[in-house]
Chain A
Amino acid sequence: MMRPSTILPLAYLATAAAFFAAAMASMPWLANELAGHYYHPRVLALTHVVTLGWITMSILGASYQLIPIVLERPLWSERLARVQLGVLLVGVVGMAAHFWLGTWPGLLAAGGLVALGVGMHLVNVTVSLRGLQRWTLTARLVVLGQAGLGLTAMFGLTLALNHALPVFSWARFPALHAHVHLALGWWIAPMLLGVSARVYPMFLVAPEPARTLGRVQFWGLAGGVPLLVVGLIAAPSLVVPGALALCAAAGSHVVGICSMVRGRKRPSLDWGLRFALTASGFLVLGVAAGLGLALDLVSGPRVALAYAVLLLGGWTSLSIVGMALKIAPFLVWYRVYGPLVGTRAVPGLAALGSPRAEAAAWALLTAGFLSLAGAAAAGNALWILVSAVSVALGVLAFAASLARVLAHLRAPAPPAESVRISIAKATGAKAHTPKVHTQ
């Protein structure tokens, strides 16, 4: 069996972390814009750096580590995924730049590159999935996520095209909201829920939650998003049923996590797990805000921005930071120290990162995103500035811990021959003694 690639997912995760750092570092300078309406070129640029550069790149990186585990087979083409990284990198930077400048032809070209990168990913995953026999919850959610990614990219490109060359007569904001919810409900959510279903029992050493919860998650997302999207664009009566279905999916996910936490056999939680569990709290808050918007209990661009901060910042970003703090050390450990296991003492995963930096990142990001949601809802620029500084410092601490993990890649691995000799020595395979016989 081929050794699963470790550098490929790490390259995606490192790129994503760089986008996250760039986006969050720019946020204090966007405090005034964030205090106003979200439909602002610079806020849109920031949003796309977060959703494409940070979130999508991270999910793609995590996918390339998880596909061999979930599908029990290697990715079809790692070369295609490497080329795709370059295409997406140029595309996302181009999109952010053109959103920032407000130049639509350039935005369309950059969006086309992103769509090309998405297409390459979909081809790779589709071929990798061919002939899969065990359709676990994670596998089904991954497929839903791939469909959602493709549709979101096409929808986004259509919105940009329609802006430059109006074809559809739909209202701008409902269409924009539909695009956001398609991304959130059919790309980000299934991937996060799918990955959680696989890795939380593994890392918490806990029994898997009841299957009914998994079914509610899958069908809640699969059915809720189309209702919500169509409802937002064309049939407002479908918005509430769609929102309720999504609430059911999110609720069953949170209930499943609570049951795993209660039933875990691992008493202490590392910072990666604390991030992931804290993210679930943000999901509850975000879903409550979303339900309030769907039921018209609250309304307006400020609440909508706070809702986006809770879900994209609190839930998604903290989930990804938590998973990155689990996935990256494992990949680095596997690459650098895996071949040495059995030949000499190797460090544990915890020794690769920096728990102090991770603790600082957790405190700053949790407080920062929570405060930012409140500040966005209030439309207070100074409060936004203070919150954004907290988030930016949190990202810095996260990046420092990740950099410390990645620095182990520079540790020289011994040549393969020396490993084989050590193993032979350890197992006595080459030793023999005269006057000995066996059956």
Chain B
Amino acid sequence: MSAVPPRPPTAMGLDAARRVDLDVREEVRSGQEPFSRIMAAVSALLPGQALVIRAPFEPVPLYRALGQRGFAHWTEQRAADDWSVWFYLRQLTIDVRELEPPEPMLRVFDALETLAPGQHLEVRHNRRPVFLYPQLEERGFTHETDEPEEGIVRIVIRRREETPG
């Protein structure tokens, strides 16, 4: 175990609407395979929702399986046979193209507040937000901007310490 990661804000008081709980402890103890139930729960997740799986051991194989689907995880060991694992998408996406200034800036900082460790924010805008960039930099975020297609400006925002390179 390396450095202790911060607890994601999603784990500090997420309302019921944004949290899907799945307890598979009894299922595993009775010898059943919970994988299909887990994947069904993952498929049913709505944007911004996190899946919280409770298992009797650390479900390491799930890290890779869900990691391939864009999920990051955060694990908490409550007891020797009680583990909670939070799965949430690495990327949050918000579209602010139809908002009047300064609403896009407010939405971006709202979204950044809920950003979990390892997660980044993708903002879809209709212009380069030159007034936003300095604010992001002052608050410890990095940003990359490109234009994947005409009329869409994409800004990817990460915590500075999580920025590759």
Contacts and interface: CB of A to CB of B under 8 A. Distances in A.
Interface residues of B, number: 45
Nearest to A337: B102
Contacts of A435: 76-78
A434 B3 CA distance: 11
A432 B99 contact: no
A439 B4 contact: no
Contacts of B73: 438-439
B145 to A, nearest CB: 9
A164 to B, nearest CB: 46
Contacts, number: 112
Interface stretch (A1-9, A37-45, A154-162, A383-391): A1-9
A1 B100 CA distance: 23
A70 to B, nearest CB: 9
A429 B8 CA distance: 8
Nearest to A416: B138
Contact of B134 (A3, A265, A437): A3
Contact of A427 (B76, B113, B126): B113
Given A342-B110, A427-B115, A433-B76, A202 B5 contact: no
Interface residues of A, number: 40
From A3, A333, A420, residue with most partner B Cβ within 10 Å: A3
A436 interface: yes
Contacts of B113: 342, 426-427
Contacts of B25: none
Contact of A1 (B67, B101, B133): B133
B140 interface: yes
A48 B139 CA distance: 46
A412 interface: no
B5 A420 contact: no
A429 B6 contact: yes
A203 B106 CA distance: 16
A4 B134 CA distance: 8
A130 interface: no
Given A1-B137, A68-B130, A341-B105, 18 more contacts: A1-B133, A4-B134, A69-B127, A202-B126, A339-B138, A342-B110, A342-B113, A346-B106, A423-B139, A423-B140, A429-B6, A429-B159, A430-B6, A435-B76, A435-B78, A436-B74, A436-B75, A438-B118
8 contacts: A4-B131, A69-B127, A69-B130, A423-B140, A433-B76, A434-B4, A435-B76, A436-B7
The 6 closest A-B pairs by CB, nearest first: A342-B109, A3-B134, A1-B133, A428-B9, A437-B1, A341-B109
Interface of B: 1-2, 4-9, 12, 63, 67, 72-78, 98-102, 105-106, 109-110, 112-113, 115, 117-118, 126-128, 130-131, 133-135, 137-140, 159
